[in-house]
């Protein structure tokens, strides 16, 4: 095995030691047509049939879970999908493509999907389009089963861990493999703030992107060490290097365990200045994965995922049940429900938005809600109905103008009554125009939360999912830092609470900067809570204020980050000392 050392961009920290598994993409467009020898035809058909059985089993499981969690009506779609896989006409066509035309199993499925594509292209209308998805989705599942055939073989006997290697870091890649089997992810492409990256971080999987053609350079089964903190990848490592890395990973885990043990203490700086630490979640299920005592509630519930994982729009009652499951875990703490933020890369399969040349600049978030008032009204009704269950906070995504905020508030008032909303009403600041109009917007709301992931995208005019311009996506650039300081100052002057729920809040340098600017709350993936709390406890607010001011005055992102990192490194030193004390 050849030794190969590579350097890429860090996306999620940590050390991963395991065996490479090259995951093929599940988008059929990228699968080359493959032919087989006549003698292999019978085996190829068996392979396809086996993958289909596995897909059917999977659908059965999803159906059972959906029935349990969401009800029989929603689960019915999966029974229909199972029927699609058993369609006799499709079966005989697939058999003919394999046995007569000698197509490999994945190419035969591709032929079937192409046939559906041509058929549905000629049909008009939203219903037809969603019908097409119902026909193609189950076969895509079979395809995935086929392509993941090698999964079991890829597991190294010794290490039992997979280093997933793929061309692009997509959300589907991250969720397609069992979390406990994946110890690291390596990709050619993928922005650090893409949704795939956000997921990888929240799953705690060390991840590196910016490794060109990595999927062609490595082979499944090769031993690999991934250093998520520095972006270094070692393939074909020696036994000694592997052992050292395993020790490093164990040490990191140990430090983490000590930090978790101290994470129930209230968030504060060394001098006792409080910093509220909340979590970002996508589903009530996320709350089972960590100790909720560590946090002051939920700072961002991305409710669109509730809509995305269902086969159709949730009713008001469906939503009340889901929101109630979060509120019952936090009866006395703040829970911030962000209203539907679909559009761009977050799509609902049952609600097709028009094809747009610039989707990130188009019909998404609040814009879509205001144009579909029925949909928005239902969500506001559901959230308002939950007001007695806890501290319900409603937050609007992708706000651009004051007028939009007023229109949304009017809708809430139509439900709740003027001047008595019964729930707290806030907005996300993600668009530079809204940041500049904040002095007016802040008068209409109870709280502000900054979405730095999108704010950077719109401030620098760089698509957060486009790795070609990833270099220009610079959260630590002084231009962004100055906007963040401006937002904090404006909210403080208006005496309105201001927090951050973008990824920066879960990064040590980001958390230090934000606390130093006067942000009173940080919301992040649960994974980062112990570390951020432990680090904040080591440093006085005065130090954070000075380093935040200095970073904002720097010349460029590298300089600004270095200023913040100096304080972070000092805080880490103190954490390490206390871990050592804990050990003795």
Q: What amino acid positions are annotated as catalytic residues? A: 195, 501
Nearer to ligand PEP, 346 or 384 (CB): 346
Helix (H, G, I), strand (E, B) or coil at 383: helix
Strand partners, 226: 16, 233
Picking from 555, 540, 566, the residue whose alpha carbon sits closest to that of residue 481 is: 555
Task: Tell me how far apart the terminal alpha carbons of the chain are, to the nearest angstrom.
Answer: 42
| 278 lies in the site for ligand PEP, by CB under 6 A | no
Within 8 A by CB and 6+ apart from 421, the residues are 384, 412, 413
- Rounded Cα distance, 538 and 267, in Å: 11
Q: How far is the CB of 336 from ligand PEP (least distance, A)?
A: 11
Q: With contacts defined by CB under 6 A, how many residues of the chain interact with ligand PEP?
A: 10
Give 25's DSSP letter. P
Contact, 219 vs 4, CB < 8 A? no
Q: What tokens were used for 90?
A: 């499709």
Rounded to whole angstroms, the Cα distance separating 295 from 263 reads 8
Nearest residue to 120 (alpha-carbon basis) of 137, 98, 103: 137
Structure tokens at 426: 């806030």
Q: Is 343 in the site for ligand PEP (CB under 6 A)?
A: no
* Per CB under 6 A, 480 contacts ligand PEP: no
Q: Which region among 44-52, 124-132, 348-356, 447-455 touches ligand PEP (by CB under 6 A)?
A: 447-455
Beta bridge partners of 351: 348
| 465 in contact with ligand PEP (CB under 6 A) | no
What is the Cα–Cα distance from 506 to 528, expressed in whole angstroms? 6
Complex with ligand PEP: residue 198 or 208, whichever CB lies closer: 198
Q: Which is nearer to ligand PEP, 197 or 508 (CB)?
A: 197
* Residues 520, 541: Cα–Cα separation, whole Å: 12
20: enclosing H helix or E strand: strand 15-22
Scan residues 441-470 and list those touching Mg ion (CB under 5 A).
451, 454
130/136 Cα distance (integer angstroms): 10
If binding is defined by CB under 6 A, does position 430 make contact with ligand PEP? yes
Query: Which does residue 23 bind out of ligand PEP, Mg ion, none, counting CB within 5 to 8 angstroms by kind?
Result: none
Give the containing element (helix H, strand E) for 46. helix 41-70
**Residue (31 or 281) nearer to ligand PEP, CB:** 281
Of the candidates 436, 431, 282, the residue with the CA atom closest to the CA atom of residue 346: 282
Binding ligand PEP (rule: CB under 6 A), the pick from 451, 506, 510, 530 is 451
- State in angstroms the smallest separation of the CB of 65 from ligand PEP: 24
Residue 191 binds to ligand PEP (criterion: CB under 6 A): no
Q: Which of residues 495-524 bind ligand PEP (CB under 6 A)?
A: 501-502
DSSP letters for 438-462: HHHHGGG-SEEEE-HHHHHHHHHT-
Q: Which does 167 bind (CB under 5 to 8 A by kind): Mg ion, ligand PEP, none?
A: none
Which residue, chain included where needed, has tokens 């219903």?
A: 127
Nearer to ligand PEP (CB atom), residue 104 or residue 383: 383
Considering beta carbons, is residue 277 or 501 the nearer one to ligand PEP? 501
Q: Select 167 or 454, whichever has its Cβ closest to Mg ion.
A: 454
CB of 110 to Mg ion, least distance (A): 35
Applying CB under 6 A, which of residues 202, 453, 499, 567 lies at the interface with ligand PEP? 453
452 binds, among Mg ion, ligand PEP, none (CB under 5 to 8 A by kind): ligand PEP
**Minimum distance from residue 519 beta carbon to ligand PEP (Å):** 13
Give whichever of 188 and 453 is closer to Mg ion, judged by the CB atom. Answer: 453
State yes or no: residue 404 binds ligand PEP (CB under 6 A): no
- Span interacting with ligand PEP, options 3-11, 109-117, 203-211, 446-454, rule CB under 6 A: 446-454
| Smallest separation (angstroms) from ligand PEP to the CB of 484 | 12
Which residue is nearest to Mg ion, using beta carbons? 454
Buried b (16+ CB within 10 A) or exposed e, 487-518: bbebbeeeebbbbbbbbbbbbbbbbbbbbbbb
Sheet containing 207-209: which strands, arranged edge to edge?
A: 4-7, 232-235, 223-227, 15-22, 162-168, 182-189, 207-209, 9-12
Minimum gap (Å) between residue 302 Cβ and ligand PEP: 5
Q: Name which of Mg ion, ligand PEP, none residue 501 binds, using a CB cut-off of 5 to 8 Å depending on partner kind.
A: ligand PEP
Q: Which of residues 416-435 bind Mg ion (CB under 5 A)?
A: 430
302: partner contacted, choices ligand PEP, Mg ion, none (Cβ within 5-8 A by kind): ligand PEP
Residues 296-315 that bind ligand PEP (CB under 6 A): 300, 302
Structure tokens at 540: 């006085």
| 381: number of Cβ within 10 Å | 18
**Chain contacts with Mg ion (rule: CB under 5 A):** 430, 451, 454
- The residues of the shown chain that bind ligand PEP, judged by CB under 6 A, are 300, 302, 341, 430, 451-454, 501-502
């Amino acid at each position: 095995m050849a030794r190969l050392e590579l350097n890429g961009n860090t996306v999620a920290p940590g050390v991963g030691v395991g065996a490479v598994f090259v995951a093929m993409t599940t988008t059929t467009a990228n699968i080359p047509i493959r032919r087989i020898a006549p003698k292999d035809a019978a085996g190829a058909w068996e392979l396809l049939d086996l993958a289909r059985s596995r897909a059917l089993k999977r659908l059965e499981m999803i159906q059972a879970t959906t029935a349990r969690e969401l009800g029989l009506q929603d689960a019915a779609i999966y029974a229909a999908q199972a029927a699609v896989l058993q369609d006799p006409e499709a079966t005989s066509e697939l058999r003919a493509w394999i046995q007569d035309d000698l197509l490999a199993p994945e190419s035969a499925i591709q032929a079937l999907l192409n046939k559906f594509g041509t058929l549905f292209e000629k049909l008009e209308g939203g219903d037809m389009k969603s019908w097409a998805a119902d026909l193609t989705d189950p076969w895509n599942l079979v395809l995935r089963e086929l392509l993941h055939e090698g999964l079991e073989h890829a597991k190294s006997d010794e290490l039992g861990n997979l280093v997933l290697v793929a061309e692009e870091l997509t959300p589907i890649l991250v969720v397609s493999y069992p979390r406990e089997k994946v110890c690291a992810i390596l990709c050619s492409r993928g922005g650090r703030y893409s949704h795939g990256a956000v997921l990888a971080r929240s799953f705690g999987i060390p991840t590196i992107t910016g490794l060109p053609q990595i999927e062609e350079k490595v082979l499944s089964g090769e031993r690999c060490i991934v250093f998520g903190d520095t972006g270094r990848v070692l393939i074909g490592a020696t036994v000694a290097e592997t052992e050292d890395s395993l020790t490093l990973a164990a040490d990191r885990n140990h430090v983490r365990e000590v930090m978790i043990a101290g994470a129930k203490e209230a968030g504060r700086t060394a001098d006792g200045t409080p910093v509220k630490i909340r979590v970002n979640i996508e589903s009530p299920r996320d709350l089972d994965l960590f100790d909720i005592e560590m946090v002051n509630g939920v700072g961002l519930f991305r409710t669109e995922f509730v809509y995305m994982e269902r086969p159709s729009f949730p009713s008001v009652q469906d939503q009340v049940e889901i929101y109630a499951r979060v509120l019952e875990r936090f009866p006395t703490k703040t829970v911030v429900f962000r209203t539907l933020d679909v559009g761009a890369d977050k799509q609902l399969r049952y609600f097709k938005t028009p094809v747009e040349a610039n989707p990130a600049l188009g019909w998404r978030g609040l814009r879509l809600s205001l144009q579909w008032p029925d949909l928005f009204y239902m969500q506001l009704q559901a959230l308002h109905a939950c007001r007695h269950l806890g501290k319900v906070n409603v937050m609007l995504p992708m706000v651009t103008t004051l007028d939009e905020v007023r229109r949304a508030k009017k809708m809430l008032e139509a439900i709740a009554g003027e001047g008595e909303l019964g729930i707290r009403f806030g907005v996300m600041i993600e668009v530079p125009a809204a940041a500049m109009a904040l002095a007016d917007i802040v008068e209409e709301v109870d709280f502000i939360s900054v979405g730095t992931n999108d704010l950077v995208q719109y401030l620098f005019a760089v698509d957060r999912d486009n790795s070609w311009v990833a270099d220009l996506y610079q959260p630590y650039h002084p231009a962004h830092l100055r906007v963040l300081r401006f937002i904090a100052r404006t909210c403080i002057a208006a005496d309105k609470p201001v927090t951050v729920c973008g990824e920066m809040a879960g990064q040590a340098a980001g958390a230090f900067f934000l606390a130093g600017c006067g942000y009173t709350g940080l919301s992040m993936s649960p994974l980062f809570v112990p570390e951020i709390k432990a680090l904040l406890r080591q440093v006085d607010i005065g130090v954070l204020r000075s380093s935040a001011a200095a970073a904002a005055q720097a010349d460029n992102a590298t300089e600004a980050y270095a200023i913040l990192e100096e304080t972070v490194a000092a805080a880490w030193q103190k954490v390490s000392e206390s871990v050592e004390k804990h050990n003795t």
